[in-house]
A and B are shown apart, each in its own frame.
Chain A
Amino acid sequence: DTTVKQNPRYKLARVGKPVNLICSQTMNHDTMYWYQKKPNQAPKLLLFYYDKILNREADTFEKFQSSRPNNSFCSLYIGSAGLEYSAMYLCASSRVDRGQDTQYFGPGTRLLVL
């Protein structure tokens, strides 16, 4: 099963409110990623977990948090949503330690902040 699951598929949030997005995979992948994609733009890496180590991109460091309570789950947390957070959020996973670098993507969560 090469499925990456994301919940919810659609999320409506109010400005200033927190948002929590969930991703899961059962492929025993050691690395999980979160990307943000806006219309007519390339997907942009926000952060990734390699095992239990979180790596956040420098330009999004303060805007997003994440947790990985176990190998299968990874969340993306926005403490106070702004209009600019409206986007598709894509989760992906891969098995890096065995050189299987193919990233498998979930269906995405479409976030709309009003």
Chain B
Amino acid sequence: GDQVEQSPSALSLHEGTDSALRCNFTTTMRSVQWFRQNSRGSLISLFYLASGTKENGRLKSAFDSKERRYSTLHIRDAQLEDSGTYFCAADSGYNKLTFGKGTVLLVSP
């Protein structure tokens, strides 16, 4: 089965609201990265975490440091420009990223 389970697959938010994406891992992971896919299909790195939490503006990510089997991406005060597809990807220790299937986020007025 899939090593990285990402949820939800799609998410609709109103401007100004908060939400969270989640990735569960079927095995212990060494690190996790979160990406946003831009309109051209390129992957823009948002966060890299080997443990703990990181924050950048309205985005905050956490990686479960104890069991290393899930990660979250929190979006605060969602804006229209946050719309897009978000991916998590995890490294089980061989420097090979396994991606989740993505979350399609739509932020509406």
Map CB proximity to A onto B23-59 as digits: 1 under 8 Å, 0 otherwise: 0000000110101000011111100101000000000
**For residue B35, which residues in chain A have a CB less than 8 angstroms away from its CB?**
105
Query: Contact check: which of A41, A48, A88, A110 meets B96 at CB < 8 Å?
Result: A48
CB pair B95–A102 under 8 Å, yes or no, is: no
The answer to whether A107 touches B96, judged by C-beta atoms less than 8 angstroms apart, is no
B48 touches A101 (CB 8 A): yes
- A101 & B31 in contact (Cβ 8 Å cutoff): yes
Please report the number of residue pairs spanning A and B whose Cβ atoms sit closer than 8 angstroms: 57
A57-83 residues with Cβ-Cβ distance < 8 A to B are none
Interface residues on A, range: 20 to 34
> Which residues of the other chain, B, contact A96 by a CB distance below 8 angstroms?
95
Q: B75 on the interface (CB 8 Å rule)?
A: no
* A31-B41 in contact (CB<8A): no
Contact B41 A88 (CB under 8 A): yes
Beta-carbon contact of A104 and B96 below 8 Å: no
Are B45 and A42 in contact, CB atoms less than 8 angstroms apart?
no
Residue-wise, chain A 26-66 has the 8 Å CB interface mask toward B (1 for contact) of 00000101010100011111001010000000000000000
Residues of chain B at the chain A interface (Cβ within 8 Å): 4, 30-31, 33, 35, 40-45, 48, 50, 87, 89, 91, 95-102
Please list the 9 inter-chain residue pairs (A to B) with the smallest Cβ-Cβ separation, ordered nearest first: A42-B99, A102-B48, A105-B43, A107-B42, A43-B99, A42-B101, A88-B41, A96-B95, A108-B42
Seen from chain A, the residues whose Cβ lies within 8 Å of a Cβ on chain B are: 31, 33, 35, 37, 41-45, 48, 50, 88, 90, 92, 94, 96, 101-108, 110
Known: A31-B95, A101-B30, A102-B45. 10 other contacts (CB 8 A): A41-B101, A42-B101, A42-B102, A43-B87, A44-B99, A92-B97, A104-B45, A107-B42, A108-B41, A108-B43
